[in-house]
C-alpha cells in the first residue's frame, strides 16, 4: 500500500487506476495536478478530463461512458471520482461496490482513473482499500508529521517562490495547523506581505496568526480577486472558528468599510502616515489594503460592500433565513460578476 511519498513518485510511472484515502484534500490535489500536467494537453482538457462527484445522483452509466470515451488528440484521458464513499469499510451498498469492480475488470488502458475520499478523524482507520487492490494502486495518506510535514511545507514555499530560510520554515510549521489548504493560504499571505524580499521571523509573527481579523482579510482578498473556491474555503474556515455568525459578518463588513476608507483617502492624495492616524488600522492590514486598493476601482469596492450590507440587513431582519447558505450564494454572485 502506498503512502503519500510513494504516491507522488507514481507521477513518473502513472498506472491505470488509483484508490486514495486521505486525511487532507490538498495532498490529493497535488497528486491530481501532477499527473494531469503529465497526461492532459491544456487545449483538450475539456474532452479528456472528467471530474465526477460520488453522491446520490451518481450515475454508473455516465461514469463508465466517461471512462470508455476515447481520448481526443492524445493517448490518455483522466477520470476523477471525488468523495468515493465506497472506499470506507462501513459502506453498505455491496451491490454497487460489485458493479464498480465488474467495470474495473475491463477498464480501458487509455483511461487513468482516480477514486478518492477525504476522511475525518473518526474515519481514520476505516478504509476498505484492500478490497480494490487487485484493480489498481491503493494509497492511505495519514497525517504527515515531523520531517515529512516539514518537507511538504518546504516544497510549497519553493513552488510559491517565497524567499525563506530553512530554519524559518520549521518555525512556520510550528505556527500552523496540519491542514494543507490552510497552509497554502498562510504562505500566500506571507508572499503578499513581503513582496519578494526574504521572510523574517517577525514577518511570520506578524502575519501567521489565528486572529479573526487576518482570516477575514484573506476572505476579502479572495473575494476581490473573484476566486470563488478560495473565497468559500476562507468563509468556511471562518465559520469553524467558533465565533457567532453575526459577529463574523460584522467583522467582514467592518473590514470592507476600512478597505473603502483607505481607498477614499488614497484617492484624496493623503499620505500613509496620515491614513494610519485617521483610520487606526494596524500596519499589516493597512499595507494589505493599500496593495489591494491599487488593483481595484472605487466603484468595484463600493459595489462589493453594498452587496454585503444588503445581505447583512436581510439576515438581521429575518428569522427564517439560512445565513451560511445565503452568504455562500452571495460569494458565488460576487465572484461571478
Mean pLDDT by 10 residues, the chain (337 residues): 94 95 93 95 94 92 96 96 93 93 95 94 80 95 86 94 93 82 90 93 81 72 84 84 76 83 90 82 72 82 85 78 86 82
* Residue 211: per-residue pLDDT: 54
Q: Judging by DSSP bridges, how do beta strands 77-82 and 111-118 pair with one another?
A: parallel
| Cell output for 95 | 451491490
The C-alpha atoms of residue 77 and residue 301 are separated, in whole angstroms, by 42
Please give, one letter per residue, the 3-state secondary structure of 183-246: HHHHHHHHHHHHCCCCCCHHHHHHHCCCCHHHHHHHHHHHHHCCCHHHHHHHHHHHHCCCCCHH
Please work out, in degrees rounded to the nearest 5, the angle formed at the alpha carbon of residue 81 by the alpha carbons of 75 and 87: 125
> pTM for this structure?
0.62
- Count Cβ atoms below 10 Å from residue 319 Cβ, excluding itself: 6
Cα 293 → chain centroid: 24
Which residues, 6+ apart, have CB-to-CB distance to 247 below 8 Å?
A: none
Task: Tell me phi and psi for residue 40, to 5 degrees.
Answer: -110, 125
- 137-141 β-sheet, strand order: 49-53, 77-82, 111-118, 17-22, 137-141
Task: Tell me phi and psi for residue 160, to 5 degrees.
Answer: -90, 5
The C-alpha atoms of residue 39 and residue 33 are separated, in whole angstroms, by 10
Cα-based distances in Å from 117 to 23, 160, 245: 9, 27, 29
Task: Tell me phi and psi for residue 55, to 5 degrees.
Answer: -150, -165
Contact between 87 and 129 under an 8 Å Cβ cutoff? The reply is: yes
Which residue ranges form the domains of the chain, and what is each CATH number?
Answer: 4-141 (3.40.50.300), 146-209 (1.10.8.60), 213-335 (1.20.272.10)
Contact between 307 and 333 under an 8 Å Cβ cutoff? The reply is: yes
Which residues, 6+ apart, have CB-to-CB distance to 73 below 8 Å?
A: 41, 44, 47
Which residues, 6+ apart, have CB-to-CB distance to 67 below 8 Å?
A: 79, 103, 107, 108, 111, 113
Exposure of 189 by Cβ count < 10 A (0-12 exposed, 13-18 middle, 19+ buried)? buried
Please work out, in degrees rounded to the nearest 5, the angle formed at the alpha carbon of residue 199 by the alpha carbons of 189 and 236: 20
| Cell output for 29 | 490535489
Amino acid at each position: 500500500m502506498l503512502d503519500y511519498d510513494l504516491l507522488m513518485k507514481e507521477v513518473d510511472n502513472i498506472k491505470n487506476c488509483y484508490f486514495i484515502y486521505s486525511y487532507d484534500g490538498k495532498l490529493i490535489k497535488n497528486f491530481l495536478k501532477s499527473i494531469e500536467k503529465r497526461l492532459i494537453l491544456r487545449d483538450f482538457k475539456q474532452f479528456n478530463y472528467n471530474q465526477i462527484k460520488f453522491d446520490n445522483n451518481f450515475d454508473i452509466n455516465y461514469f463508465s461512458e466517461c471512462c470508455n470515451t476515447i481520448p481526443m488528440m492524445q493517448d490518455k484521458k483522466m477520470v476523477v471520482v471525488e468523495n468515493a464513499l465506497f472506499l470506507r469499510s462501513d459502506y453498505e451498498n455491496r451491490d454497487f461496490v460489485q458493479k464498480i469492480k465488474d467495470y474495473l475488470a475491463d477498464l480501458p488502458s487509455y483511461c487513468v482513473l482516480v477514486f478518492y475520499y477525504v476522511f475525518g478523524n473518526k474515519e481514520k482507520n476505516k478504509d476498505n482499500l484492500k478490497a480494490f487492490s487487485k484493480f489498481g494502486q491503493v494509497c492511505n495518506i495519514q497525517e504527515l508529521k515531523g520531517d515529512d510535514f516539514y518537507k511538504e511545507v518546504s516544497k510549497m514555499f519553493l513552488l510559491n517562490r517565497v524567499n525563506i530560510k530553512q530554519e524559518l520554515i520549521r518555525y512556520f510549521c510550528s505556527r500552523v495547523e496540519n491542514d494543507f489548504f490552510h497552509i497554502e493560504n498562510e504562505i500566500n499571505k506571507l508572499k503578499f506581505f513581503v513582496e519578494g524580499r526574504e521572510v523574517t521571523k517577525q514577518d511570520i509573527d506578524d502575519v501567521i496568526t489565528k486572529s479573526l481579523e487576518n482570516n477575514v482579510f484573506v476572505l476579502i482578498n479572495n473575494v476581490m480577486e473573484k476566486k470563488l473556491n478560495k473565497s468559500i474555503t476562507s468563509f468556511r474556515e471562518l465559520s469553524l472558528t467558533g465565533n457567532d455568525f453575526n459577529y463574523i459578518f460584522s467583522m467582514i463588513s467592518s473590514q470592507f468599510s476600512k478597505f473603502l476608507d483607505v481607498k477614499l483617502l488614497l484617492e484624496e492624495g493623503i499620505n500613509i502616515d496620515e491614513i494610519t492616524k485617521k483610520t487606526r488600522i494596524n500596519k499589516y492590514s493597512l499595507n494589505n489594503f493599500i496593495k489591494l486598493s491599487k488593483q481595484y476601482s472605487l466603484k468595484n469596492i463600493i459595489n462589493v460592500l453594498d452587496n454585503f450590507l444588503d445581505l447583512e440587513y436581510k439576515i438581521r431582519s429575518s428569522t427564517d433565513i439560512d445565513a451560511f447558505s445565503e452568504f455562500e450564494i452571495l460569494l458565488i454572485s460576487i465572484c461571478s460578476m
